[in-house]
Structure 1
Amino acid sequence: MSTDAKRLTKVIPKVGFIEQIKPHAELIAAGLSGVFIATGWMTDKMNDHVASIIFYLLAFVIGGFAKAKEGIEATYENKQLNVEMLMIFAAIGSAIIGYWTEGAILIFIFAVSGALETYTMNKSHKEISSLMELQPEEALLINNGAERRVPVSELKVGDLILVKPGERIPSDGFIKKGHTNIDEAAITGESMPVSKGLETEVFAGTVNLTGAITVQTTKASNETLFHKIIELVQSAQSEKSPSQLFIERFEGTYVKTVLLVVLLMMFLPYFLLNWTWNESFYRAMILLVVASPCALVASIMPATLSAISNGAKRGILVKGGVHLENLSHLKAIAFDKTGTLTKGKPEVTEIIVNENFSEAELLWKTASIENQSNHPLAQSIVKYVKANLDRDLLHPEKLEDVSGWGVKAEINGEQWKIGKADFVGKEAALSFAEGKAASLASQGNTLVFVQVNDCLAAIIALKDVVRQETKLAIDHLRKQGIYTVMLTGDSEKTANVIAEESDVDQFYAECLPEEKVEHLKKLKEKYGTIAMVGDGINDAPALATANVGIAMGEGSDVALETADVVLMKNDLPRIAEAIHLSKRMNTIIKQNVIFSITVIMVLISSNFFQLLDLPFGVIGHEGSTILVILNSLRLLKN
């Protein structure tokens, strides 16, 4: 290997390592700052004051660089001072009057807070890239009978594109040729594939499962329903929370007031109260230290982190304190149906067999035929039969997939048809078992009919069943005075059945992602703070629009990234636990804030009346910080 090659080999891993640690740079800097503070304190105890000051300076520079840079840039951009600048001034003021440790600790606390904020912001943008990965980059364009691959961005309204089985549909449009089953989970969230024929609408991002189809595009690539989902997520996440807006309005006034009072205290007591210059400057520096919001920061962050840790132990992951805070204010919660209130996969609920057939024999042969299909209904039937019959499945002599209808097969000379009612004869299907089909369908079941040698042999009913814990979870929320709503892309009939079984207060059926967002906006207007619970890609805009987005742990990556809270075990009753934890946290934060503000006001007053020396000011200031942290740690207990 050449020298250059060896150098290149050494450089590449270094570049990769730098890229890996870059997102965590602020947290690493805060950690180093803490190490230098501890080292500075120890060297000071060893009477090496010069080395101690050097270590404290390193803690100042390394820990405070990111927040100082942010504060200076924000001050320049907005033309007003902010809390970041006040914290820097307070730390410098501590150093000026010889209290390097307090100034460095102030920087350290602020550095940790900033690192956590940056980490949360980075995580909140990942779902956009996850969504974009589902958008096809190329399409198979049909032009004068010839086929060629073109970028999706070049498609125009009216173009004809060929979509083969297993491919994602690249653009919204209507089917002009072919018949197929399409997985629309990316748009509607529903687990059941939808049969599509001539002149039926299809959407970008959905998956063509069976037959090849020719689609005529109706929208440009940047106007598709799938693209709107991405835009809705971006728009909802760019909206600032009420707490954030309040802080932004408040901080400028607070900083100006504190700095103005400090400036006045440097001069006015000298002229009006006959203080010496040294006394005036000394009191001004004490004021700058005790008026810094160190205790206020400690009032919120430890309590938040303790509550988040407590939730994590119970399988409730919260992506930030503001989301946990908002949980206690919820007045309404909207739920997606599939995979949230229900299990998300169809299950066999009932089987009715013609008395002329053996049920075990018929199910065995039915599963043998369905085992050749990847359709979710077919796989559910196979799973059910395998769980109840200990027999190896057969291999049909002949098999024909009739796209959109069902399957034909031959086993031991018998002619089988499995599929829709129209496929086996609608009149016979509806009259079978004294019209039991209509009753099963009204209960939200999807029906599969089995015909053997032109004789209707069985009806197999399947349904996406409600989770066992769903009703318990809804009842817990109702006791807390929270209104519950179900939003689903499923039909009115199915939605009505699931709503009754789940015991939700209201439901909206046949909702596309943008319609879910509109319903959530109306709920916001009526109830104020609301939450959305979902698990699919199609739920991402709604999760981002709600004040609190809650995702099921087994849901899509996009839902998990978009949501503010994740239930890792898909345990819906944990929502009520999270709300209770939020109320505990907010109570402790209120206690901390009231206590810390009271201490700051007492210290400021004592300093003005020359009753407070710097050591006691530091003890009061740091002591109040320690007390509110200890109070916050109570949240670690269940």
Structure 2
Amino acid sequence: MSAPAETRPAPVPDSPPPGPGQPRRVGAGMLDPTQLWRALPQALRKLNPVTLFRNPVMFVTEVGAALTTGIAVVHPSLFGWLITGWLWLTVVFANLAEAVAESRGKAQADSLRRTRQQTTAWRLAGWEPGAPQDAYLEEAVAASELRRGDIVSVPAGELIPGDGDVIQGAASVDESAITGESAPVIRESGGDRSAVTGGTRVLSDHLVVRITQEPGQSFLDRMITLVEGANRQKTPNELALNLLLVMLTFVFLVAVVTLQPMAIFSKDAMAAAHDTAALTSNGVTAIVLVSLLVCLIPTTIGALLSAIGIAGMDRLVQRNVLAMSGRAVEAAGDVNTLLLDKTGTITFGNRRASAFLPVGAVPMERLAQAALLSSLADETPEGRSIVEFAYEKHELTERVANGAEWVPFTAATRMSGVDLPSGQRLRKGAAASVAAWVREQGGEVPLALEATVQQVSASGGTPLAVAQSTSDGRAEVLGVVHLKDVVKPGLRERFDELRRMGIRTVMITGDNPVTAKAIAEEAGVDDFLAEATPEDKLELIKREQAGGHLIAMTGDGTNDAPALAQADVGVAMNTGTSAAKEAGNMVDLDSDPTKIIEIVEIGKQLLITRGALTTFSIANDIAKYFAILPAMFAAVYPGLDRLNIMALHSPLSAILSAVVFNAVVIVALIPLALRGVRYRPSSASALLTRNLWIYGLGGVIAPFLAIKFIDFALVQFIPGI
């Protein structure tokens, strides 16, 4: 029994756009300064030592700040409190970088969460395909109560209550809440467009959906969790870099601790030589050593490392790609081989008209006009492409009198056409079918038709013949329409870029080798695999991986699932089947197969950004050495005074300037960490050279200038330092 119609609530209206102060999706471009202020509370909460312990570099900095705080309380001094304040700011700024990166994800998650409204689901108990309405019960339940395997009915205007597969019906679905794309898409039972996502809206017709999710594990739930970054796993390279930072921190910690006796001796020597208490007051020695330690350990990259990883995933989300793990993003940056499905990725997916080929002395305009009129009743993609081609290339218009009888295309006749009131009849379709029709009308099929058909087939295209029968019953063949897989514009240039990155491109298709070769040459890919089966795809990936290559591929069908699971970067289309989405480690919400090229570029940008900031962090330590070491030991070893090449005002101002720079540089680099270093396709050696010149040399020069400026400013505002 079906529920009474009046008990079904009205469709939930679309959510209004967010008002002032409400979160909205944040771009991945320049850093909005207000984000720093909004993220400050979260940064302060991260001062919890239990939270900070997972970042050993900043944990050591916090311990040092706590130690100097105690010393400043017991032995108050302006220098002690200034150092203490800037050490705490160093920790806060480090937390701020991560908090800002996470806040972007949370803003996106809030935007997505608004699409997950309290939805009523119409569950069908006892439903079977073809069963009459009185054979099953339709009951209203909360969407949160749905379980895997439940069958739900979704009429036009209502939200789909959960992830599932369409098992009956076809409808237009609005997925803008998930993908941001305003154009609706078609979802239908069977095939590779049966998967639907909870929170999307049915715009027309009616769907019956089988739920494939468990409670709390919908695609939208997983997306919100991943976007918020709560469960972000560190990648192998990130773990390795973290280990290096820990080792460097330990080495510098041991080195600084062993300097304690020398520092005491230096303090006494300075007091005797200069009769000054600048560095001889109780507790200052320990504060100076803590300052030295914090300036020596890699605080800059330690503070920004997590933010770089979070921002990399954020940049993918901004392009409507959901990465299931940071490992997948990083792997995209190391990809050596890119497998691309021909249909929908390299070509538009449907064969399109590319040329009209007259037979004999038939004028081109006559053939084009006949092809246009005979295709108006053909609703297939090929038929529509002939109409579009005739309009665009030959500027034809329809000239059909009233009373024309249209002959739609059918799989049985393999032809379409029109019978005009004048008695003229036009047909377009498969060459064999049209040739048979011409003979039935008493006409002759010229030998030139067979030659043209073979020529089109040999080039990898599909030939369609066009014929005409006049009022006197005489039929003749006018020519051939050349249909082919049209390569998307601009792909050859993109593949050239990938080649400069050192990435090999392989096209995968089920076409015969002749067609595959023609498309591969036109697109500019490095290699192709023709007549590919799921087993062939899987074998190709395993063979490439055995050779030490990392593989990326796209797919949308169930037959792609094994290869997506085997690939290092498997990008499933959101329009694809649930099996494909579960097998891949990324999902493209826009279902644009060519986006894998952008994914590779974002992965490389993440790796380059991490390398650039690591280079800068290590390089800027040089200036700190020249600031702090002469200040600490020049009294004992006068020769060290020659290292004070910045001519800093005093030992105290030198140390404080280095500590201030160490904190401020973190905030200065947050926008770069979030936006990423600009990536240009080039060889690894060229990238390394550019890295060293810009971030290596820049990391040496910039701190010298900044520390000197800070020293000058401190002397102006704190004359006694």
CA contact (8 A) 1:550 1:564 kept: no
The superposition leaves residues 32-74 of structure 1 with CA deviations (integer Å, 9 ceiling, x where unpaired) of 3xxxxxxxxxxxxxxxxxxxxxxxxxxxxx76532343463xx
Residue of 571, 595, 598 corresponding to 2:619 = 595
User: 2:454 is matched with which residue?
Assistant: 438
User: 2:704 is matched with which residue?
Assistant: none
CA contact (8 A) 2:25 2:108 kept: no
Aligned residues between the structures: 541
Question: Judging changes above 3 Å, is the alpha-carbon distance between structure 1 residues 480 and 411 closer, same or farther for their aligned structure 2 residues?
Answer: same
Q: CA RMSD in A?
A: 6.9
What is the identity, as a one-letter code, of the residue corresponding to 1:110?
A
In the alignment, the residues of structure 1 paired with residue 427 and residue 535 of structure 2 have an alpha-carbon distance, to the nearest angstrom, of: 39
What is the identity, as a one-letter code, of the residue corresponding to 1:439?
Q
CA contact (8 A) 1:408 1:416 kept: yes
Q: Give the alignment of 1:481-630 within 5 angstroms.
A: 481-488=502-509, 493-509=514-530, 523-524=544-545, 526-529=547-550, 557-559=589-591, 566=598, 589=613, 591-599=615-623, 613-621=651-659
User: 1:375 is matched with which residue?
Assistant: 380
The superposition leaves residues 294-351 of structure 1 with CA deviations (integer Å, 9 ceiling, x where unpaired) of 444699899999x9xxx9xxx9x9x999999878755333444346544666443332
User: 1:182 is matched with which residue?
Assistant: none
What is the identity, as a one-letter code, of the residue corresponding to 1:244?
E
Q: Shift of the alpha carbon at 1:263?
A: 8.2
User: 2:645 is matched with which residue?
Assistant: none
Question: Judging changes above 3 Å, is the alpha-carbon distance between structure 1 residues 65 and 82 closer, same or farther for their aligned structure 2 residues?
Answer: farther
Secondary structure (helix, strand or coil) at the match of 1:466 reads coil
User: 1:65 is matched with which residue?
Assistant: 41
| Residue 385 of structure 2 corresponds to residue 409 of structure 1 | no
Question: Judging changes above 3 Å, is the alpha-carbon distance between structure 1 residues 415 and 297 closer, same or farther for their aligned structure 2 residues?
Answer: same
Secondary structure (helix, strand or coil) at the match of 2:283 reads helix
Q: Give the alignment of 1:36-435 within 5 angstroms.
A: 64-70=40-46, 72=48, 76=50, 82-89=56-63, 97-99=80-82, 102-103=86-87, 106=90, 109-111=93-95, 113-118=97-102, 121=105, 142-144=129-131, 171=165, 204-205=194-195, 221=212, 240-249=234-243, 277-291=282-296, 293-296=298-301, 330-338=335-343, 340-342=345-347, 346-355=351-360, 357-395=362-400, 397-404=404-411, 405-412=414-421, 413-421=423-431, 423-424=433-434, 433-435=449-451
Q: Shift of the alpha carbon at 1:383?
A: 1.9
Per residue, is there more helix in 1 or in 2? 1
Q: Shift of the alpha carbon at 1:393?
A: 0.7
Unaligned runs of 5+ in 1: 1-11, 33-61, 179-195, 207-214, 568-574
Percentage of matched positions with identical amino acids: 16
Q: Shift of the alpha carbon at 1:534?
A: 9.4
Larger Rg: 1 or 2? 2
Higher mean Cα deviation, 542-551 or 348-357? 542-551
User: 2:641 is matched with which residue?
Assistant: none
CA contact (8 A) 1:68 1:85 kept: no
User: 1:210 is matched with which residue?
Assistant: none
Question: Judging changes above 3 Å, is the alpha-carbon distance between structure 1 residues 231 and 483 closer, same or farther for their aligned structure 2 residues?
Answer: farther
The superposition leaves residues 260-306 of structure 1 with CA deviations (integer Å, 9 ceiling, x where unpaired) of 8888988997799999752443234323542454444699899999x
Question: Judging changes above 3 Å, is the alpha-carbon distance between structure 1 residues 468 and 138 closer, same or farther for their aligned structure 2 residues?
Answer: same
Question: Judging changes above 3 Å, is the alpha-carbon distance between structure 1 residues 233 and 620 closer, same or farther for their aligned structure 2 residues?
Answer: closer
What is the identity, as a one-letter code, of the residue corresponding to 2:398?
L
User: 1:192 is matched with which residue?
Assistant: none
Question: Judging changes above 3 Å, is the alpha-carbon distance between structure 1 residues 596 and 538 closer, same or farther for their aligned structure 2 residues?
Answer: farther
Question: Judging changes above 3 Å, is the alpha-carbon distance between structure 1 residues 90 and 132 closer, same or farther for their aligned structure 2 residues?
Answer: same
CA contact (8 A) 2:541 2:566 kept: no
Question: Judging changes above 3 Å, is the alpha-carbon distance between structure 1 residues 513 and 205 closer, same or farther for their aligned structure 2 residues?
Answer: farther
- With structure 2 as the length reference, what TM-score do the two structures score? 0.53
Secondary structure (helix, strand or coil) at the match of 1:99 reads helix
The superposition leaves residues 152-178 of structure 1 with CA deviations (integer Å, 9 ceiling, x where unpaired) of 988979x9x9999xxx997488x9xx9
Q: Shift of the alpha carbon at 1:464?
A: 2.7
Secondary structure (helix, strand or coil) at the match of 1:352 reads strand
Question: Judging changes above 3 Å, is the alpha-carbon distance between structure 1 residues 205 and 15 closer, same or farther for their aligned structure 2 residues?
Answer: closer
Q: Shift of the alpha carbon at 1:375?
A: 3.1
User: 2:204 is matched with which residue?
Assistant: none
CA contact (8 A) 1:408 1:417 kept: yes
CA contact (8 A) 2:249 2:298 kept: no
CA contact (8 A) 2:301 2:613 kept: no
Q: Shift of the alpha carbon at 1:512?
A: 8.8
What is the identity, as a one-letter code, of the residue corresponding to 1:361?
R
| Residue 465 of structure 2 corresponds to residue 449 of structure 1 | yes
Secondary structure (helix, strand or coil) at the match of 2:338 reads strand
Question: Judging changes above 3 Å, is the alpha-carbon distance between structure 1 residues 171 and 525 closer, same or farther for their aligned structure 2 residues?
Answer: same
Unaligned runs of 5+ in 2: 1-14, 73-79, 170-187, 197-206, 269-279, 439-444, 470-474, 574-586, 636-649, 670-692, 699-721
Q: Shift of the alpha carbon at 1:595?
A: 1.4
CA contact (8 A) 1:331 1:481 kept: yes
In the alignment, the residues of structure 2 paired with residue 128 and residue 538 of structure 1 have an alpha-carbon distance, to the nearest angstrom, of: 30
Question: Judging changes above 3 Å, is the alpha-carbon distance between structure 1 residues 324 and 469 closer, same or farther for their aligned structure 2 residues?
Answer: same
Question: Judging changes above 3 Å, is the alpha-carbon distance between structure 1 residues 234 and 590 closer, same or farther for their aligned structure 2 residues?
Answer: closer
In the alignment, the residues of structure 1 paired with residue 224 and residue 460 of structure 2 have an alpha-carbon distance, to the nearest angstrom, of: 31
| Residue 23 of structure 2 corresponds to residue 20 of structure 1 | yes
Secondary structure (helix, strand or coil) at the match of 2:81 reads coil
In the alignment, the residues of structure 2 paired with residue 521 and residue 282 of structure 1 have an alpha-carbon distance, to the nearest angstrom, of: 57
Secondary structure (helix, strand or coil) at the match of 1:434 reads helix
In the alignment, the residues of structure 2 paired with residue 415 and residue 13 of structure 1 have an alpha-carbon distance, to the nearest angstrom, of: 54
Question: Judging changes above 3 Å, is the alpha-carbon distance between structure 1 residues 94 and 354 closer, same or farther for their aligned structure 2 residues?
Answer: farther
Q: Shift of the alpha carbon at 1:485?
A: 1.7
User: 2:689 is matched with which residue?
Assistant: none
User: 2:275 is matched with which residue?
Assistant: none
Secondary structure (helix, strand or coil) at the match of 2:354 reads strand
The superposition leaves residues 529-550 of structure 1 with CA deviations (integer Å, 9 ceiling, x where unpaired) of 5555899999999699656989
In the alignment, the residues of structure 2 paired with residue 408 and residue 78 of structure 1 have an alpha-carbon distance, to the nearest angstrom, of: 74
Q: Shift of the alpha carbon at 1:499?
A: 1.7
- With structure 1 as the length reference, what TM-score do the two structures score? 0.59
In the alignment, the residues of structure 2 paired with residue 216 and residue 421 of structure 1 have an alpha-carbon distance, to the nearest angstrom, of: 40
The superposition leaves residues 489-536 of structure 1 with CA deviations (integer Å, 9 ceiling, x where unpaired) of 666553332123334332235679999788657645534455558999
Question: Judging changes above 3 Å, is the alpha-carbon distance between structure 1 residues 497 and 21 closer, same or farther for their aligned structure 2 residues?
Answer: closer
| Residue 482 of structure 2 corresponds to residue 461 of structure 1 | yes
Secondary structure (helix, strand or coil) at the match of 1:450 reads strand
In the alignment, the residues of structure 2 paired with residue 631 and residue 471 of structure 1 have an alpha-carbon distance, to the nearest angstrom, of: 31
Q: Shift of the alpha carbon at 1:231?
A: 9.7
What is the identity, as a one-letter code, of the residue corresponding to 1:386?
Y
The superposition leaves residues 1-25 of structure 1 with CA deviations (integer Å, 9 ceiling, x where unpaired) of xxxxxxxxxxx9999544426979x
Question: Judging changes above 3 Å, is the alpha-carbon distance between structure 1 residues 375 and 267 closer, same or farther for their aligned structure 2 residues?
Answer: farther
